Amino acid sequence: MIIGKIVGGSVSDKIIIRLKSNSEIDVGDILLINDPKALFYVKVINVSITSMVPAQFIEEMAGNDLEYQDGINLFDDKDRFYRIAEAKILKIKKAEFVPPRTIPNFFSDVKKVTAEDFKFLENEGEVEVGNLRLGTDYLRDVIIKLPAKKLISHHILVSAATGKGKSNFVKVFIRGLLNNKEIAKIIIDPHAEYYGNKGMKGLSHHPLHNEIEYYTPRWNDTAGSEELKVYAEDLVPSDFHGVVELSDAQKEAMDALYKTYNETWIRTLIIDKPVNTIYEDLKRNVGLSTLFALRRRLSYTLELNDDENGLVFTLKKRNSKSVFEKIEKAVISGKTIIVDTSMLGSEAEKLLSAAIVSREFNLFRKTKQLNPEAFKTLPELLIVFEEAPRVLGIEALSHGTNVFERIAREGRKFNVGLCAITQMPSLISKEILSQMNTKIILGVPSPADRTAVIESSCQNISDEGTEIQMLDKGEAIITSPFVDFPLPVKVFHFDELLKTDANKKVASDELLGL
């Protein structure tokens, strides 16, 4: 059905469409333009009303109706009053798809798209995340799939205001990777929302939950989980750099302590020896005041309750495998690892996250450098973490670099990628944002944050500012060098996917006679 005609436009700006009077068109709709030389896929970025009647007469008619209830009786109203849609060209199809370097002719027909028009999307990826969205509606027969293997090591940014569906998208995305042994996943979970519990559906409710390892301080209350316990003897000074605010003197003191006492350096400072004795052991090269301040700082960061023990960190001697060794084994096996940090304070949570991530990054980096053949057998690694500005923000990095920044810059060389989740992308430096090649934009009301994601996107979404502002819960724009054009998506609801997965498993079990 024809819903408009081309009445103007340019390659560098917008296509102008006069709409048919009864056509229902919204910002975000994708339309098809039939032109003798090509087929144009365009996206509506603005809709306005206009008229051939001078503005002063329109105002007069409106005023008469308001004041005297004269009514508005128009002659040839469909000819004189109409709507105009402004659209941007997404793709041009000739013999094959080509970049938008030309425009359609005057009076070319414009029609709405159907599922058949998007057959080319069927083989674009392997992880199903939602349906193609058209304005406020969506095409149920067009499923958007992301090419995870391509985009993971090039980093992902998930940006949205509170309540717009960030965690739902991440669960949907990870659900699509659970059976993929070529991609290991580490999820740092500060809100205890990804694994799930009796009151909230999570990845543990998926039929492939055996592919998940869950580390939590509440392991006694969570079936199938592992105890999250970190022994101080497994920590090194570099774990604290860039995530815990320390003076240069305190950093030097940590290095001296580690060099002198090796793995017992933290325990020695906090409980084993008086500070005056340590001062002498270090040959008075570190000030007493620095040692006292560092002891207080470490005790606070590790959240020790009774000198020796904290909720997660402990000064006791380890007599079994460390949590770092267990996570490394799971990563090599291509599993999904969820780390519950919801009960930790900010500094302890950042320290734990950095300690886990740095060891895995070093595993990949050193394996590639020292044993290239073994590196080929490793899966890719995706690291998912919330509140990204805490470790990638301009303010955070002013205190020194950290492992998250290093991965943002170098990770793709070693098949390690970040999935950074944030409400406020404007707090992250432009350089780091530009490294996040795939962006999942789920509704960003703040002008500063919209500008940050628009300007750092690898595809041109400068015209989508209004649409981004108006995105409803679960509606997204996905931009990436690995998709054909900025994809408008209605993200699947994770709970509904679980029902589908459970039904498929039941049907499969019945077929096998289980």
- Partners of 385 in the β-ladder: 188, 420
pLDDT digits (tens, 9 = 90+) for 50-82: 988 888 888 888 888 888 887 777 767 777 889
pLDDT value of residue 514: 53
Q: Are residues 108 and 84 in the same domain?
A: yes
* Residue 215 counted as domain residue: yes
Give the burial class of 412: count Cβ atoms within 10 A of its Cβ; 0-12 exposed, 13-18 middle, 19 or more buried.
middle
pLDDT digits (tens, 9 = 90+) for 163-188: 999 999 999 999 999 999 999 999 99
Question: Position 46: which residue type?
Answer: N
Domain that holds residue 18: 2-124
Q: Are residues 240 and 105 in the same domain?
A: no
* Residue 510 counted as domain residue: no
* Residue 59 counted as domain residue: yes
**What's the pTM?**
0.91
Q: Are residues 10 and 111 in the same domain?
A: yes
* Residue 102 counted as domain residue: yes
* Residue 109 counted as domain residue: yes
Q: Are residues 348 and 447 in the same domain?
A: yes
Taking the C-alpha atoms of residue 105 and residue 37, their distance in angstroms, rounded to an integer, is 9
Strands 183-189 and 336-340: parallel
pLDDT value of residue 97: 85
Q: Check whether 282 has a pLDDT greater than 90.
A: yes
**Mean pLDDT of all residues belonging to the chain:** 92
Give the burial class of 205: count Cβ atoms within 10 A of its Cβ; 0-12 exposed, 13-18 middle, 19 or more buried.
middle
* Residue 466 counted as domain residue: no
pLDDT value of residue 508: 57
* Residue 514 counted as domain residue: no
pLDDT digits (tens, 9 = 90+) for 360-386: 999 999 999 999 999 999 999 999 999
Kindly state the tokens that stand for 338: 């969820």
CA 364 to chain centre: 22
Q: Are residues 239 and 204 in the same domain?
A: no
pLDDT digits (tens, 9 = 90+) for 14-44: 999 999 988 989 999 999 999 988 999 999 9
Boundary of a domain, candidates 124, 143, 176: 124
Q: Are residues 274 and 244 in the same domain?
A: yes
For 79-109, give the DSSP string.
HHEEEEEEEEEEEEESSSEE-S-S-PPTT-E
Q: Are residues 270 and 372 in the same domain?
A: no
The helix-helix angle for 248-261 and 288-302 (nearest 10°) equals 80
pLDDT value of residue 43: 95
pLDDT value of residue 506: 55
CATH number of the domain that residue 185 is part of: 3.40.50.300
Boundary of a domain, candidates 302, 333, 355: 302
* Residue 242 counted as domain residue: yes
pLDDT value of residue 513: 55
**Residue 272: enclosing H or E segment and its boundaries?**
none
Q: Are residues 349 and 416 in the same domain?
A: yes
b/e per residue 89-119 (b: at least 16 CB within 10 A):
bbbbeeeeeeebeebbeeebebebbeeebbe
Q: Are residues 82 and 165 in the same domain?
A: no
pLDDT digits (tens, 9 = 90+) for 375-420: 999 999 999 999 999 999 998 888 889 999 999 999 999 999 999 9
* Rg, the chain, Cα only: 28
Give the burial class of 504: count Cβ atoms within 10 A of its Cβ; 0-12 exposed, 13-18 middle, 19 or more buried.
exposed
Q: Are residues 373 and 412 in the same domain?
A: yes
The helix-helix angle for 346-370 and 288-302 (nearest 10°) equals 90
Q: Are residues 209 and 263 in the same domain?
A: no
Looking at the structure of the chain, the number of domains it has is 3
Q: Are residues 213 and 240 in the same domain?
A: no
pLDDT value of residue 81: 87
